[in-house]
Chain A
Amino acid sequence: MAQVHDVPLATPLSDRHQALGARIVEFGGWLMPLQYAGILEEHRAVRSRAGVFDLSHMGELFVEGTDAAAALGYALTTEPASLKVGRAHYSMICFPEGGVLDDLIVYRLAEERFMIVANASNAGAVSDALAERLVGRRHVVLDDRSLATGLVAIQGPLAAAILAPLTDVALADLRHYGIAEGNVADVPALVARTGYTGEDGFEVIVDVAATGTVWDAILDAGKPMGAVPVGLGARDTLRLEAGMPLYGHELGPDTTPFEAGLGRVVKLAKEGDFVGRAALEKASAEGPRKLLVGLVVRGRGIARQGYGVFIDDRRIGVVTSGTQSPTLGLPIAMAYVTPSEAQPGTIVGVGIRDQRVQAEVVPLPFYRRPAETTDARA
């Protein structure tokens, strides 16, 4: 009998990462680049110019058929039927008990064809849950193409300028959370204007065999403009500044989307049943047991996952993610706290080693890109 080895997977770009001198770590069952030149330098490149990411570890699940929209409406908390073709939205797949199985982006590629991008560490579980939730529907097919697709992202204020010459997709017409089919470096690709950095940017999804071609083309085109390869380390600090949750930190089976401040993705008003509806209706009616907040540490030290949050001697919560913000130059964190203590301006203490270090509850995100502010005014 064949033996199953629990070895991490390598992305199609692993040789390139090695050649670039990346430090490799295991993440979500994959061997991934943690950093190349250094987390701070990569982080700053994305904020000021552009960064190129290998995200081939992410799960890509295609759901197709006349029943696809309805099936996803049952499986997820959002209503994919409301998406126009070429548009995407942020969504969640929840357990029947209301906890989060994963957070996802759902793209509508055609009237009857959707793509779901799931976290690497959850891709298998999401695929299994979707398959289970599609049982009994005759006109829908799930195609898990996680291992058959590569994903290269380019993020940062110069992302559009770098990608435009390489693609026949009209990037100027592709809005935030839009997706279009076309070619990138002469390779058939899906180009989505989505990301996980708080910057403008694109995610390019291609056949796994073409990942290297697309990576090389984007990196070569980007280099003269100051683009650099970016690893998971900076991906984490970028998303944290942007106030975006990460599964295993801010999201998990013991957390409802409401508690994560993401109640907007739970469409209780949609027609029909969906997995988790009863539990989420109850959770919505009862109110959250905890709330996700931003913290800025005012004293010295970095608040990290698992550190307690206190008011006087009362433990009121726990840190879920924390780092030194490269953009703000301050230690920032996200934490779950008792709802009554979640008000911005609340002063708390974070237990950092043997000390209580003062921190202030602040609104999320910590960082908003300048262009967004302009958009909001317009």
Chain B
Amino acid sequence: MLPQDLRYTKEHEWVRIEGDLATVGITDFAAEQLGDVVFVELPEVGRTVAQSAAVGVIESVKAVSDLFAPVSGDVVATNTELATKPELLNSDPYGQGWMLRIRLADRTALDGLLDAAAYEALTRES
């Protein structure tokens, strides 16, 4: 079941907005499509990222895929547990599989994100 309180991107990231902090991960659909995730590369804390820029890498057994920043801002935290437990992206994508936290530079960018209904429609098409 797709969490209704999150925002989503067409690149299959989810965003949880709490104040000016955005926690980011990939959706269950994306994790399922990638298959078993075996390696995650995340940006350094402190780095300023621009919306839609590639900020990390997710590798499954079969494929490599980029992680895009869904919003602009400064990276304030990354999930270091993923270095040793990348499989959390498959087992708990919306919880322990979170990837990074960004302090929002500008809240207007949130307007471009999808709500759960729009994202669900998108995954049904593909």
Contact = CB atoms under 8 A, between A and B. Distances in A.
Interface of A: 23, 34-35, 38-41, 233, 237, 300-302, 304, 323-324, 326, 331, 353
A239 to B, nearest CB: 13
Contacts of A300: 39, 41, 83
Which of A34, A41, A237, A302 has the most CB atoms of chain B within a 10 A radius of its CB?
A302
Interface in B19-50: 35-36, 38-39, 41
A209 B38 CA distance: 39
Nearest to B64: A304
Given A38-B36, A38-B90, 10 more contacts: A34-B35, A34-B62, A35-B35, A39-B62, A40-B61, A41-B36, A233-B35, A237-B61, A300-B41, A326-B61
B41 A39 contact: no
A302 B59 contact: yes
B35 A302 contact: no
A39 B39 contact: no
Given A233-B61, A353-B57, A324 B39 contact: yes
Contacts of A233: 35, 61-62
A233 B60 CA distance: 11
A331 B62 contact: no
A40 B89 CA distance: 14
B71 to A, nearest CB: 23
A304 B64 CA distance: 9
Chain B residues touching A, range: 10 to 19
Contacts of B36: 38-41
B91 to A, nearest CB: 11
Contacts of A323: 38, 61
Contacts of B59: 301-302, 324
Contacts of B90: 38
A23 B41 CA distance: 26
B64 to A, nearest CB: 7
Contacts of A39: 35-36, 60-62
A40 B61 CA distance: 8
A99 B35 CA distance: 35
Contacts of A41: 36
A300 B83 CA distance: 9
A88 to B, nearest CB: 30
Given A38-B35, A324-B38, A302 B64 contact: yes
A246 B60 CA distance: 20
A38 B60 CA distance: 11
Nearest to A326: B61
Nearest to B32: A23
Nearest to B62: A233
A236 B90 CA distance: 21
A340 B115 CA distance: 57
B68 to A, nearest CB: 15
A240 to B, nearest CB: 10
Contacts of B62: 34, 39, 233
A48 to B, nearest CB: 17
Nearest to A301: B39
The 6 closest A-B pairs by CB, nearest first: A324-B38, A40-B36, A39-B61, A302-B59, A38-B36, A39-B36
A23 B29 CA distance: 13
A306 to B, nearest CB: 11
Nearest to B40: A300
A39 B90 CA distance: 12
Contacts of B64: 302, 304
Interface string B39-79: 10100000000000000010111101000000000000000
A40 B60 CA distance: 10
Contacts of A38: 35-36, 90
A27 B100 CA distance: 36
28 contacts: A23-B35, A34-B35, A34-B62, A38-B35, A38-B36, A38-B90, A39-B35, A39-B60, A39-B62, A40-B36, A40-B38, A40-B61, A233-B35, A233-B61, A233-B62, A300-B39, A300-B41, A301-B39, A301-B41, A301-B59, A302-B38, A302-B59, A302-B64, A324-B38, A324-B39, A324-B59, A324-B61, A326-B61
A301 B86 CA distance: 12
A378 B83 CA distance: 42
